[in-house]
Structure 1
């Protein structure tokens, strides 16, 4: 299961920064930015507030020296750190478009002096849980503004890691010429791990279809992309062809609990008080929506329950009456699956 909130990250802002993705069928990707500031706790707090005031929140704010990390919004929703490319809302391209602001300057690449720790490893694990490969489709980010590469076709069709300098419609050249090998080496994937997410048993083989990548196949089958590559002798640049039959083997299997029966919409209305409200709230907390509760969750239906349900519904890409904050059978099923 893809990680939407990093458990050890500080919560920044109100937790709502964007909305549903416009192009959820495109591969997931990451965009690295730099804040063009110093580092340390004072800088972290100042920049964190500034990005909220400017309404330019990324998903993640990270200090490469102290390893401090904060998260503004769910990875399942868009962020606000990129400019649009004409009519294309670049923040909303991909199954996920994870935006990371690093407290650093493009002219002084942070990988030359950083001290990544457990929070950086947690960040990379979360990124990989979305099936995102350890690669930069447009190469090492630019050393100068004039060297920036912005290939619109790659941006729209390729998953992986990008610099702000690679995003069409944008004119910044951050994060500078970071050492991409060092970036991945600081948090090595553990032998076919998909970032700590559980996978379910898959069939024995998969036939490559048009538009498939190892990343997208991994998402479809629940098998970590690195395992697929290893089993089939596929090495960098991880080339696959349409019609190719790939061996599959789940890296781990779990017995998924059955979804509890939906008790009925009447149990989740103003004034309701019952054990199902508690059960719902506890599951929302497990799924990363605990920030909406100052107290609880408990048996009494509150505005916090509705806000958490609405946020979960929005994360599914639902709008209107499908995202009114009241759980129906489909919301219940998705939440407990």
Structure 2
């Protein structure tokens, strides 16, 4: 049994939302939604009240800019934010189906500008207490309404995190292309007693009453998926008291440094390279990072993706990227803006700065 009420969260409503889960033996999962609204305290109240009025309450309402956290109902019961998939009640799938509405818009992924704090860590602590793994079984949530993935088998059988865009029977594409890595990095798992999660403190662990693979991972510093792999466990990864799990120390490697791209440098390159002779470069290294990302997004042909020159083709590709993420008219044209660059950076392992 995991956390039912998050002690750090404000109580929203009367605490009664849904009911018992239909498939409590299935793995637990989380569904991320966006409210398609602004953020801040006024929106927190107005949207929060609206969700109650239309009987579409999630479990959680979260403001990514203030770290404000509210909870409508107990995590071990269903919420009301999903449509059914025929006769399948998607709100009641799994031992838990924790639904989170984030005060944000899908077209501007909140991980590009958010300010997660202790309340977000508390939310992730509660999620992990139910054994929900730090994975997205259907991959990074959809970047557009036309790129959604809704696999019924995956949804029914795989525990982890999902976007609203992944739930069968639903037609929304939120929460947008959030950075899944940033989501988990903002709330790192710390073993009991502190220390690093990179190396287990022992070569074996004996399962105790009340243990889950997630809690064992927290105690030993080994991710639950690794525990399952090392012991040849099969889904749903059953364990029993007294079972001895063989652990394997992992090596700690220094994470690769993400390249940094400056908006000022890109705009300087844009101003100089476009009117210059073909192939002229200014801040080529940073332009190449953006070109590679635009290629991966499908907006820039491979033959232009590594020359480091911000010519008319690269400029048109960046404009196409902005249109694909909700920018319209003049907003999609002209100089590179920090907001749009952060969206691209969140999807392609670089950092954006002014």
Contact 1:192-1:225 at 8 Å conserved across structures: no
Look up the match of 1:230: 222
1:145 aligns with 2:123: no
- The 2-side partners of 1:43 and 1:91 are apart by 25
Tell me the alpha carbon deviations over residues 195-248 of structure 1, each in whole angstroms, 9 at most, x when there is no partner: xxxxxxx98369xxxxxxxxxx963x7842456783999389889445999734
**Pairing 1:10-21 to 2, within 5 Å after superposition:** 10-21=10-21
CA distance change for structure 1 residues 78 and 231 in 2, over 3 Å: closer, same or farther?
Answer: closer
- The 1-side partners of 2:228 and 2:205 are apart by 25
Tell me the alpha carbon deviations over residues 264-306 of structure 1, each in whole angstroms, 9 at most, x when there is no partner: xxxxxxxxxxxxxxxxxxxxxxxxxxxxxxxxxxxxxxxxxxx
**Pairing 1:124-143 to 2, within 5 Å after superposition:** 124-143=124-143
Tell me the alpha carbon deviations over residues 110-133 of structure 1, each in whole angstroms, 9 at most, x when there is no partner: 000000011101000000000111
Measured after TM superposition, the shift of residue 139 of structure 1 is 0.4
Look up the match of 1:91: 91
CA distance change for structure 1 residues 149 and 177 in 2, over 3 Å: closer, same or farther?
Answer: same
Tell me the alpha carbon deviations over residues 2-28 of structure 1, each in whole angstroms, 9 at most, x when there is no partner: 100011111111100000000000001
- The 2-side partners of 1:179 and 1:73 are apart by 27
TM-score, normalisation: structure 1: 0.62
1:247 aligns with 2:244: yes
Larger radius of gyration between Structure 1 and Structure 2: 2
- The 2-side partners of 1:174 and 1:183 are apart by 15
Look up the match of 1:108: 108
Q: Which has the higher contact order (CA 8 A, sep 6+)?
A: 1
Contact 1:39-1:103 at 8 Å conserved across structures: yes
Look up the match of 1:330: none
Contact 1:144-1:176 at 8 Å conserved across structures: yes
Look up the match of 2:119: 119
CA RMSD of aligned residues (A): 3.2
Unaligned runs of 5+ in 2: 194-203, 247-354
- The 2-side partners of 1:119 and 1:92 are apart by 25
Look up the match of 2:189: 189
Tell me the alpha carbon deviations over residues 82-133 of structure 1, each in whole angstroms, 9 at most, x when there is no partner: 0000000000000000000000000000000000011101000000000111
TM-score, normalisation: structure 2: 0.59
Tell me the alpha carbon deviations over residues 167-196 of structure 1, each in whole angstroms, 9 at most, x when there is no partner: 000000000000000000001011379xxx
CA distance change for structure 1 residues 241 and 109 in 2, over 3 Å: closer, same or farther?
Answer: same
CA distance change for structure 1 residues 239 and 182 in 2, over 3 Å: closer, same or farther?
Answer: farther
- The 1-side partners of 2:182 and 2:228 are apart by 17
Contact 2:133-2:214 at 8 Å conserved across structures: no
Contact 1:131-1:218 at 8 Å conserved across structures: no
Look up the match of 1:204: 206
- The 2-side partners of 1:233 and 1:48 are apart by 35
Unaligned runs of 5+ in 1: 194-201, 207-216, 250-337
SS of corresponding position for 2:124: helix
SS of corresponding position for 2:101: strand
SS of corresponding position for 2:226: coil
